[in-house]
Amino acid sequence: MLRNPILPGFNPDPSICRVGEDYYIATSTFEWFPGVQIHHSRDLVNWQLAARPLTRASQLDMRGNPDNCGIWAPCLTFADGLFWLVYTDVKRNEGNFKDTHNYIVTAPRIEGPWSDPVRVNSSGFDPSLFHDDDGRKWFVNMVWDQRKMPTAFAGILLQEYDPVEKRLTGPVRNIFKGTERGLVEGPHLYKRNGYYYLLTAEGGTGYRHAVTLARSKRLTGPYEVHPDKHVVSSLTFPDNPIQRAGHGDIVETQTGETYLVHLMGRPVPGLNRCQMGRETAIQKCVWGEDGWLRLEGTPLEPQQTVKAPGLPLHPFPAEPVRQDFDDGKLPSAFQWLRSPEPKRLFSNTARKGHLRLFGRESLGSYFEQALVARRQTHYHYQAETSVDCDPETFQQTAGLIAYYGRFQFFYLAVSWGEKIGKCLTMMACPGSFPSGDLTFPLDTPVPLSSSGPVRMRVETEGLALRFSYAEDGGGWTRIGPVFDATVLSDEAGRGEHGNFTGAFVGMHAMDLTGQAWVADFDYFAYQDLP
């Protein structure tokens, strides 16, 4: 059986692609670098991170991008012996305007090398590329109308793409305005039995989300809407643990079965807060005699367990609980914020067996933060690290952080106090958008008795998030209050339509003196708690 989510934690806006016996899902990474996350499977059951293609400044530079901007809704396809990856780099996401720059990169293999980007247009987000069976290529994206007449989601644009000239050509057509659910976005085109099928997302990425299907005998339309309008949505199933179902893509297996991957969220019952952020689910589908796609079993309602395809199981090795930074490489689970210049933020080789962070700008900076973290993928987890540093001013901190965004985090750090010297401090920002007021949960900083490393631990159990520390090989000591873990969710900040990412846990260093003070982390461990 397939159990949802198949990609837990922050893995939204899935685009799926099959090449022979291999399946790939590309998901949004927003302000986290490198850009776009691609997982690989051979059975649709087991998935492993295979690549993050946007690794250099020529492809992506998000310094200055606000939270929840950056990479939105990539589309991954394969044609002409190449992988084609289409993505948006969103530079603004507040007010009436959105600056949405759309690009294409290609590669002969999923591991790369990936090309420098071709800038395609900026008329809206959620672009995708359709390869027609006559060899022509077509670019679609939603169009953003800053006038909001009557809505900013003004339809789906279609234009031909010339792969030789590497530009759009010919007329621009608005081929679909959506249904009364509204907020049409996330388009994907397919061709089947003489029809062009257009799959879109509607209702916004919150609790009214849906996957909508339409078709036409002509690529340019007009498009007839599915008799049920939507293929999947949780709107009328409020008790289903899978909520926010929408934004999907279709794949056909080599044995002729059809599956739909889609975005989902798992809210805490009664709170409507999704600590895991927006995740990826899968549903088995069937094509009816009327030529329309529906979920197998109960139409429209997303299922937690789904019949797996008739393919041999292909498991991958489990991710190690503990990462010791011994091989000089950053483990694949980790990302950092915005910058294509990681050497300014961290080093895997400056101190053997350690990850060295160079303290940079303030926690919450849009430009250059030394924050290296991994996704939270379980509701109950424990993360641990050891930091070795010698701060000389209160403006230098390094430690363990549970992080969602610049207004949503909990941070235990080594710092320095004028009266007590080296000490532990805590900082928190419990979703106080837009003020972003920082709180200091400890009544007074805790003096450290040793100049050596300090171990730090964070645990979540249900709604509770707690920190502990240990020094000189001693036992663990609780520190600080019990925090509300659900603060690290979309809904706790600017709401389901303002926040789009997910919770991370990781290592952070800050030096507000501008001297790039260093902090060394010996290991990082993450494990699920039963």
Radius of gyration of the chain (CA): 23
The amino acid that residue 144 corresponds to is W
Whether 248 and 265 have beta carbons less than 8 Å apart is answered as no
C-alpha 429: how far from its chain's center?
A: 21
Structure tokens at 26: 């590309």
Question: Which secondary structure element, helix H or strand E, spans residue 47, and what is its range?
Answer: none
Whether 153 and 183 have beta carbons less than 8 Å apart is answered as yes
What number of other Cβ atoms are within 10 A of residue 297's Cβ?
Answer: 13
Cis check: omega of the bond before 309, within 30 degrees of 0: no
Whether 273 and 308 have beta carbons less than 8 Å apart is answered as no
Whether 25 and 18 have beta carbons less than 8 Å apart is answered as no
Structure tokens at 382: 């424990």
Q: Which of 368, 392, 461, 491 is catalytic?
A: 368
| Residue of 323, 328, 358 whose CA lies nearest to 342 | 358
**Checking phi first, is residue 165 left (phi over 0); if not, alpha (psi -120 to 50) or beta?**
alpha
Whether 278 and 265 have beta carbons less than 8 Å apart is answered as yes
SS3 485: helix
Question: With 0-12 CB in 10 A as exposed, 13-18 as middle and 19+ as buried, what is 463?
Answer: middle
SS3 17: strand
What one-character-per-residue DSSP string does 129-146 give?
EEE-TTS-EEEEEEEE-T
Query: Distances in Å between the alpha carbon of 260 and those of 22, 24, 102, 281?
Result: 16, 13, 25, 8
| Residue of 238, 189, 233 whose CA lies nearest to 215 | 189
φ, ψ at 352 (rounded to 5°): -55, 135
| Residue of 74, 12, 29 whose CA lies nearest to 337 | 29
Question: With 0-12 CB in 10 A as exposed, 13-18 as middle and 19+ as buried, what is 304?
Answer: middle
Question: With 0-12 CB in 10 A as exposed, 13-18 as middle and 19+ as buried, what is 99?
Answer: middle
Is there a catalytic annotation at residue 368? yes
Q: What are the residue numbers of the active site?
A: 368
